[in-house]
Homo-oligomer: A and B are copies of this chain.
């Protein structure tokens, strides 16, 4: 074992999470294209594909390159890339070794991609139009999707369809159900607009781990959840993962009892500093459900045990990061 803090994956829970999501896709009739930014591991992505995933989703060209190198042959970069001369060369190299899709969310993005592709020669990639379904991050409004898809075709590129990320599913109360409904409505409207513009949306792609159980699979043909492989404190608090479904924790040593609290060596440099508005702390302890990380700095996580007994000095506890993707991004290896 390395010195604490380090991140540990419970392989049995991981395999259960992968199998459960794969079964959900089969039962509801959607293709599963998991987002691998959560784990960044070839081994875990292979388990997902073995369980039935049709391909993978990535966020960056660099991730696409690593997974293509690792043998994955169907990759969607679900991001509105701004494609300059350097990027089109990387895209061309990628498109020669796997089926590649990239996102766009503006007419200017289409024009930029078309110019780069024209200079680079034939690049056999497919474009997917990003639609904003209520998260208000990137993506065109559903009403604009047809025009962008039409521009893709007219620029001589292939348009595979539409995608959205209903990130406003990260909310308490009825937020997850609301986001699931918003996603279905936005995708349905955008699909109609594409058809009206003469573009058949073969791919109608949705997210996300929290909204998935509220999603309408009569609309979306594929889904791109990421966090479900590990779970995290956010999913735990949103109600989309139970404690016994959490597959990744940071192992941390109790280094101090200052002020009657447990001070752990798992700071923000290993669990990340994410704290959504609804979060009850900076992270949780898997074996102490009432405890909360109330103060987090780079190398200290200060835990209020909320009346529970203090874990012994020098003992190791299991910390559940708020947002597992950013924790994984902080380490070179998972144990």
What is the interface of chain A, defined by CB distance below 8 A to chain B? 3, 37, 59-62, 79-82, 84, 86-87, 105-106, 108-109, 112, 132, 136-140, 167, 253-259, 263, 265, 268-269, 272-275, 295, 297-300, 302, 313-314, 323, 325-326, 329-330
Contact = CB atoms under 8 A, between A and B. Distances in A.
Given A105-B258, A138-B263, A329 B297 contact: no
A267 to B, nearest CB: 8
Contacts of A61: 3
B138 A255 contact: yes
Contacts of A140: 258
B299 A59 contact: yes
Contacts of A112: 313-314
A202 to B, nearest CB: 24
In the A-B complex, the 3 residue pairs with the smallest Cβ-Cβ separation, listed nearest first, are A273-B274, A138-B256, A273-B273
Nearest to A79: B299
A259 B105 CA distance: 11
A106 B272 CA distance: 27
Contacts of A329: 269, 298, 330
Nearest to A274: B273
Contacts of A79: 255, 299
A314 B37 contact: no
A29 B302 CA distance: 34
Contacts of A299: 37, 59-60, 79
A181 B61 CA distance: 50
A136 B3 contact: no
Given A80-B263, A136-B258, 4 more contacts: A80-B255, A106-B257, A109-B256, A329-B330
B295 A87 contact: no
